[in-house]
Chains A and B, each alone.
Chain A
Amino acid sequence: MTVDRLLPDQDAKDLIDLTREIADKELARRVDEHERAETYPDGLFATLGGAGLLGLPYPEELGGGGQPYEVYLQVIEELAMRWAAVAVATSVHTLACFPVHAYGTPEQRERWLPDMLAGRLIGGYSLSEPQAGSDAGALTCKAERVETGYRITGNKAWITHGGIADFYALFARTGEGSRGVSCFLAPGTAEGLSFGRPEEKMGLHAVPTTSAHWDGAVLAGDRLIGEEGQGLQIAFSALDSGRLGIAACATGLAQAALDEAVAYAKERQTFGKRIIDHQGLGFLLADMAAGVDSARATYLDAARRRDAGLPYGRQASVAKLVATDAAMKVTTDAVQVFGGYGYTREFRVERYMREAKIMQIFEGTNQIQRLVISRHLAK
């Protein structure tokens, strides 16, 4: 079903229309095949980039779309309604552009951002390590100063688009402690960089997630983004925005599950009437709709605060928590509405339920979100 969106202006409406056209033709038609076969959709991100959908919340002067988060996130949600893996990778790409945009020098921004924002260069985000996920400060990947720049040694994990992306926002240790981490814009082709086999995931099959192994690759000095030691500050400020992207992905996924469930409940008959007309099922669907709407309202509130220049870290964490928990519940209930059919791979709701689970885990587990929220409360 088409979501009736509240949008700030005609340009935003046109953007959503364009997104829907591309999402219907390029995503909805290809998603089942690629998710089932676990194959990467070659050329798809080039199409999204060509349409201008890979740099939406960045300034037009640098090749971005100049859109507020309120609009950008609804584009992500529309993508997620058709293909969660593509929406997540789009959100991660946008996140990977953040360090250069927010902390890069004017030279760095002009050199890289136009290609990144146009989607000619696809980005990944490389903060996590096998032993450092929620506790990002525990990362050990080393960046040693050498004559020509920085030598990188260590292992990174859980990289969306790993091995495929053209660049990675890489966080590595230049010193000790929480002020000893630095941010780099690493090319995907760096000599001495290799990637692990794609993880065998529960869902999001079409876009690979890999580990990365840095074996003394040397990055030129101008690949350092921000100051030495500023890495964790950059990583965490990027994550506030990234969490909103995931909240939007989760909302789109939940909306898709609701749409499938409602359509099925209007068609399927038991005891002489449509199952949506049985109060037990009708109320379940009503709760699902309430979950989707509240997820959307919550991320949009955080986005509007961000767009207005207000603090939004707490609201971003609330949005991520609320939207991803809603997605888990709504997709699980969608399977319930379908009964036994919902448990088979014939129907998309089975996939939605698998895809929802990761949303409660990545870009800060929902336990970390609660930690962030409670620390705000304790201030």
Chain B
Amino acid sequence: MNIVVCVKQVPDTATERKLRSDDNTLDRDAADGVVNELDEYAVEEALKLKEAHGGEVTVLTMGPGKATETIRKALAMGADKAVHLSDDALHGSDALSTSYAMAQALNKVGFDLVVLGSESTDARTGVLAAMLAERLGVAQLTLANKVDVDGTSITIQRITDYGYDRVEATLPAVVSVVEKINEPRYPSFKGIMAAKKKPVETLAIGDASIDPSQVGLAAAWSEVVDFAAAPPRAAGTIVKDEGDGGAKAAEFLASKKFI
């Protein structure tokens, strides 16, 4: 089975994240880049599927040159090879144009199954899996917390408020995963060393037949018009409990219309 895992480099959520003042896009130099956490679960699931069914795991990422660090991490975990879609023309792409560019790259690379995290910690749109499936004309199986493949049929389990849905489809398909699906492995030291020798193919937009007029900031359907830092938190109210603490807490909650 030819599995492609889409991974994204995101700014570390533990550090302060900023937007750029010149074009209102993410300032990727302001914070350390790390693998989007849910994508690590996607890599783990892809590796498990490969271990169970054979085949190959290819990592696909779209991002600037720095994103190679993220590719190395996925390769160190055990993926076989990587494709890095990187082109200045892609800067500022929104979810729609990202899905277009990624779909073009996926068509070039070829796949039986595409696995990705259900959302990223930076943009948090959570729509890429659905958009990719639509563009690729294949089944979408989103928010999976369990994946089973049997021949060419694939079944996922999706947790819902009332229990879970079982969703079945025929390969090829796109699956997005949630964090309950597995426990991502750590890379091993040997894996890190081996990753340095694994092939990474870099694609510019022309290599993936991506129309430059459909990507980048200019082609984006959504636009960040303005942004501001979150206001500092106002000082809290300290209530001294003199036997009436419960009543005072209730009064406070009522004043905020919580109760």
B partners with A: yes
A interface with B by C-beta (< 8 Å):
11, 14-15, 18, 21-22, 47, 50-53, 56, 65
On whether the beta carbons of A50 and B188 are closer than 8 Å, the reply is yes
Q: Is the CB of B185 within 8 A of A18?
A: no
A65: which of B185, B186, B187, B189 is its contact (CB, 8 Å)? B189
User: How far apart sit A47 and B184, CA to CA, in the bound complex (Å)?
Assistant: 12
Tell me which residues across on chain B come within 8 A of A56, comparing CB atoms: 189
Query: A15 CA to B186 CA in the complex, in Å?
Result: 12
6 pairs of residues in contact across A and B, judged by CB atoms under 8 Å: A15-B192, A18-B189, A21-B186, A22-B186, A50-B185, A50-B186
Q: Which 8 A-B pairs have the closest CB atoms?
A: A52-B189, A52-B188, A51-B186, A14-B192, A51-B188, A52-B190, A65-B189, A15-B189
Chain A residues with CB below 8 A from B192, complex form: 11, 14-15, 18
CA A219 – CA B115 in complex, angstroms? Answer: 52
CB of A53 within 8 A of CB of B189, answer yes
Chain B min CB distance to A104 (Å):
23
Q: Nearest Cβ distance between residue B244 and chain A, in whole angstroms?
A: 30
For the complex with contacts A11-B193, A22-B186, A50-B185, 20 further pairs of A-B residues with Cβ separation under 8 Å are A14-B189, A14-B192, A14-B193, A15-B189, A15-B192, A18-B187, A18-B189, A21-B186, A47-B186, A50-B186, A50-B188, A51-B187, A51-B189, A52-B188, A52-B189, A52-B190, A53-B189, A56-B189, A65-B189, A65-B190
Most buried by B among A21, A50, A51: A51
Q: Which residues of the partner chain B approach A50 to less than 8 Å between Cβ atoms? A: 185-186, 188
Complex interface: chain B residues within 8 A of A21 (CB): 186
CA distance A59 to B29 in the complex (A): 39
Chain A proximity mask over B187-199: 1 for CB below 8 Å, otherwise 0: 1111011000000
Tell me the complex Cα distance, A14–B192, Å.
Answer: 8
Cβ of A65: which chain B residues have Cβ within 8 Å of it?
189-190
Chain B residues, Cβ within 8 Å of A52? 188-190
Query: For residue B188, which residues in chain A have a CB less than 8 angstroms away from its CB?
Result: 50-52
A281 to B185, CA, bound (A): 44
Residues of B within 8 A of A53 (CB): 189
Shortest distance in angstroms between A91's beta carbon and chain B's nearest beta carbon?
17
In the complex, which residues of chain A have a beta carbon less than 8 angstroms from the beta carbon of B193? 11, 14
Q: Smallest CB–CB gap between A81 and chain B, Å? A: 18
Query: Residues of B at under 8 Å CB distance from A?
Result: 185-190, 192-193
Query: Contacts of A47 on B, CB cut-off 8 Å?
Result: 186
Report Cα–Cα, A22/B188, bound state, in Å. 10
In the bound assembly, the distance between CA atoms of A12 and B35 in angstroms comes to 21
Inter-chain CA distance A11–B190, complex, in Å, is 10
Residue of B nearest to A49 (CB): B188
**Complex: A53 Cα to B187 Cα, angstroms:** 11
Distance of A51 Cα from B191 Cα, bound (Å): 9
Chain B residues with CB under 8 A of A18? 186-187, 189, 192
Q: Measured between alpha carbons, how far is A56 from B187 in the docked complex, in Å?
A: 15
User: In the complex, which residues of chain B have a beta carbon less than 8 angstroms from the beta carbon of A11?
Assistant: 192-193
A15's nearest neighbour on chain B, judged by CB, is B189
CB nearest to B195 among chain A residues: A14
Please, how many angstroms separate the alpha-carbon atoms of A14 and B188 in the complex? 11
Report the Cα distance A97→B186, complex, angstroms.
24
In the bound assembly, the distance between CA atoms of A52 and B187 in angstroms comes to: 9
Which of chain A's residues has its CB closest to B188's CB?
A52
- Specify which chain B residues have a CB less than 8 angstroms from the CB of A22 in the assembled complex: 186
Q: List the A side residues contacting B190 at CB < 8 Å.
A: 52, 65
How many Å lie between the Cα of A11 and that of B194 in the bound state?
Answer: 11
Measured in the bound complex, the distance between the Cα atoms of B190 and A18 in whole Å is 11
**Nearest B residue to A56, CB-CB:** B189
Distance between B198 CB and nearest chain A CB, rounded to angstroms = 14
In the complex the two chains form, what is the Cα distance from A21 to B188 in whole Å? 12
Q: Which residues of A contact B186 (CB under 8 A)?
A: 18, 21-22, 47, 50-51
CB-CB nearest in chain A for B187: A18
> Which residue of A has the minimal Cβ distance to B72?
A14
User: How far, in angstroms, from A367 to B250 measured CA to CA in the complex?
Assistant: 65
Q: Which residues of A contact B189 (CB under 8 A)?
A: 14-15, 18, 51-53, 56, 65
Question: In chain B, what residue has the closest Cβ to A47?
Answer: B186
A378 vs B185: C-alpha distance in the bound complex, in angstroms? 53
- Chain B residues near A14: list those with CB within 8 A: 189, 192-193
Which residue on chain A has the smallest CB distance to residue B186?
A51
Q: Name, among B188, B189, B193, the residue most crowded by chain A CB atoms within 10 Å (CB to CB).
A: B189
- Give the distance in Å from the alpha carbon of A50 to the alpha carbon of B77 in the complex: 11
A20: shortest Cβ distance to chain B, in Å? 11
Question: Shortest distance in angstroms between B169's beta carbon and chain A's nearest beta carbon?
Answer: 33
